[in-house]
Amino acid sequence: MVDDRDVAAVERQLGRTPRGLRAVAHRCPCGLPDVVETAPRLPDGSPFPTLYYLTCPKAASAIGTLETSGMMRAMQARLAEDPALAQAYQAAHDDYVARRDKAAAEDGLEPLPRDMQSTGGMPTRVKCLHALVGHELAVPGVNPFGREALDALGEWWADGPCCSVAETGTAVETETETKTETKTETKTGTGTGAGAGAGIMQSGEAFPAGDAEEAAVTASTEEESK
């Protein structure tokens, strides 16, 4: 069960009420959720393969910078050259699927097809560092590439939390959010504070936070068809 305060924080981070929310899988040093555990199937029955979902827009932005730096290409190349690394990455995939199947069983849901991807391109590709970092934060020591990316991130929380939530569970704007919105408006003319259309990267492409869940499902379906 997720308490009202955490639900309000995640809603603020994503810009919408989260669906299929099972638990807070990890907390940022600021105390807010930054990874949540999501049911393998959404309330309408559609599959949602991303069990561990990164919600913090500040972490997502920092990871996006790593992705544009070419880190994923370098990881992919190493995966083809290092059998031990490939084995560890396969083990991370197996761990993810096992935990997802366990969540489905606990919720009385039909498990996802065995041939469906786990997340982030595992076990043979590196497609989304956001998903791999989410896995590593939720289950430390399991995902080798998630660990590498996490170590390279730096302290994304250092200038304050991405949002603030009152004890009543009501989200309130923080000074950090106001500064972020002002900076973004200067660059693009569009405000993107946490929970106000902030872009979240989680399936290899940027998408509006409000459409995050649907985009992840779409990305999974497209990946299966490749």
Which pLDDT belongs to residue 13?
96
Angle, vertex CA 109, rays to CA 106 and CA 218, nearest 5: 120
Q: Which residue bears the tokens 């590709």?
A: 125
Digitized pLDDT (tens) for each residue of the chain, 226 residues in all: 899 999 999 999 999 999 999 999 999 999 999 999 999 999 999 999 999 999 999 999 999 999 999 999 999 999 999 999 999 999 999 999 999 999 999 999 999 998 888 999 999 999 999 999 999 999 999 999 999 999 999 999 999 999 987 554 555 554 444 344 433 333 333 332 333 333 344 543 333 333 444 444 444 434 443 4
Bridge partners (DSSP) listed for residue 75? none
Predicted confidence (pLDDT) per residue in 114-134, tens digit: 888 899 999 999 999 999 999
Q: Which of 167, 202, 176 is nearest to 34 (CA)?
A: 202
Q: Give the neighbor-by-neighbor strand order of the sheet with 21-27.
A: 21-27, 33-38, 52-54
Question: Would you list the domain boundaries of the chain?
Answer: 4-153
* Cα separation, 57 vs 192, whole angstroms: 10
Query: What does pTM read for this prediction?
Result: 0.77
Token reading at 154: 């730096």
> Which residues touch 16 (CB under 8 Å, ≥6 apart)?
209, 210, 212
Which pLDDT belongs to residue 170?
52
* Cα separation, 99 vs 220, whole angstroms: 18
